[in-house]
A and B are shown apart, each in its own frame.
Chain A
Amino acid sequence: MIEFTLWDIVRNLLLATRWTVLLSLAAFVGGGLVGMAVLFLRISKHKWSRRLASGYIALFQGTPLLMQLFLMFFGLPMLGLRIEPWTAAVLGLTFFASAYLAEIWRSGVDALPLGQWDAGASLGLHYLQELRLIILPQAFSITRAPTVGFLVQLIKSTALTSIIGFEELVRTSNAINNATFEPFKVYGLVALIFFLMCFPLTQYARSLEKRAAGH
């Protein structure tokens, strides 16, 4: 039997943390892009686009992320796509994040006074120009704190991809635990690593919130 020192455990966990970080970033960027598309539909002038986007958001906010990941993992192969845990994890988390980010940014758009739209229109701006130059920059700026807060939630959510077989921090820790039989130490360290990633972001979100409230 191989002996594991504390350093062996920590080193292997840290190596796996790279994948957690990479997955979080990929899902955040992907979710941001898809979320923008959902946002456009959500604030569109057409009733059916708005309904479609609301339905999409309600669907992802009303079902467990674990189920969404399972449906990706087992559903995409039915469409003839060869899929690996990484692909299912990125796609699943991307769609999950897009629903939440669209809803967060929509609240920012809603918070702006209607006069902003009128002012844009009176300057002769086209709808898309209005969005790009006037509405979205302000909406993003006032929703910065919840956006960072959601990033924390997303990082924590990557833990679920271990269940569909993606080799990130939690799956690696399960393997290490099976070899060392030291669950207290191993899962304690995993919690610590997640805490070190999330806590600074939480504090950052809090400071943004305070700054926003100070206005």
Chain B
Amino acid sequence: MAFGWLPGAVGDIAHGAATTILLIAVTTLAGTLLSILGAAGRRNGPALLKRAIACYVEVMRNTPFLVQLFFIFFGLPSLGIRLDPILAAMLAMTLNMAAYTIEIVGAGLDAVPGGQTEAALALGLRPRQVFIKIVLPQALKIIYPALTSQIVIMMLESAVVSQIAVRELTYEADMLQARTFRSFETYFVVTLVYLAMSMALRRLLVTGGRRALGAGVS
């Protein structure tokens, strides 16, 4: 075990970690938004849309993320859709996460008592207002812990996008170990960085959620 290479590598590791954070931030926002739309569409949309969303969820949940990533990055160009590695990674992560969070958000929507909608309608709110102002905030509060776990899982899964040469944390680790010939030590350090990041992310989400959604969020 030798860690003499470490001081010179801090910059690269920090740069990689920043890219990982960027990836997960974009994925969290886009994925949550997409899953709200998906969950609402699955409940109130036309029959064809309902079926399409159900199919999408099943396909994404029953295939590996790595294969989805390869399909988007290597496969889509044959349809004329050519994406930057980082865009392909963001797209793949968002689509993958949404498949899981559509179910989570949907469970939250189902858990809000129907009387809430009826009361809001009786007060003269339009259906869209009812959804955005009454049902959705309550649903998000209920499912917030599950959403948090999913975001952390996605952050860990993002290590895979190094395979299409997105310069995130794992990619930097690959480059470092090729330069230092200290494979085990490099991956050991980077694993610890991931561990710290997942713990920090979880804590951040819990505190942030408590502030934004009010008490009762754990």
A interface list, Cβ under 8 A from B:
59, 62-68, 70-71, 74-75, 78, 152, 156-160, 162-163, 170, 173-174, 177, 182-184, 187-188, 190-191, 194-195, 198-199, 202
Contacts and interface: CB of A to CB of B under 8 A. Distances in A.
A202 B66 contact: no
Contacts of A152: 62
A202 B62 CA distance: 8
Given A199-B58, A202-B61, A187 B70 contact: yes
Contacts of B159: 64-67
A67 B187 contact: yes
Contact of A67 (B64, B71, B190): B190
A194 B70 contact: no
Contact of A70 (B67, B152, B183): B183
A194 B67 contact: yes
A182 to B, nearest CB: 8
B129 interface: no
A194 B63 contact: yes
Contacts of A187: 67, 70-71, 74-75
B48 to A, nearest CB: 21
Contacts of A184: 71, 75-76, 78-79
B188 A170 contact: no
A184 B151 CA distance: 29
A162 B66 CA distance: 10
Interface stretch (B21-29, B37-45, B192-200): B192-200
Contacts of A194: 62-64, 67
Interface of B: 58-59, 61-68, 70-71, 74-79, 152, 156-160, 162-163, 170, 173, 177, 183-184, 187-188, 190-191, 194-195, 198-199
Contacts of A173: 67, 70
B2 to A, nearest CB: 11
A104 to B, nearest CB: 14
A162 B177 CA distance: 19
A198 B194 contact: no
Contacts of A78: 184
Contacts of B188: 71, 75
A195 B157 contact: no
Contact of A156 (B59, B63, B70, B177): B63
A202 B58 contact: yes
A163 B161 CA distance: 11
Nearest to B201: A62
Contacts of B67: 159, 170, 173, 187, 190-191, 194
Contacts of B59: 191, 195
Contact of A74 (B58, B68, B71, B187): B187
B184 A66 contact: no
B120 to A, nearest CB: 29
A70 B65 CA distance: 18
A212 to B, nearest CB: 16
A170 B70 CA distance: 10
B66 A170 contact: yes
A156 B71 contact: no
Contact of B191 (A67, A158, A162, A198): A67
Nearest to A67: B191
B171 to A, nearest CB: 11
Contact of A62 (B62, B190, B195): B195
18 contacts: A62-B156, A63-B195, A67-B159, A67-B190, A67-B194, A71-B191, A75-B188, A152-B62, A156-B65, A162-B66, A170-B70, A183-B70, A183-B75, A184-B76, A187-B71, A187-B75, A191-B71, A194-B62
Nearest to B159: A64
Nearest to A183: B74
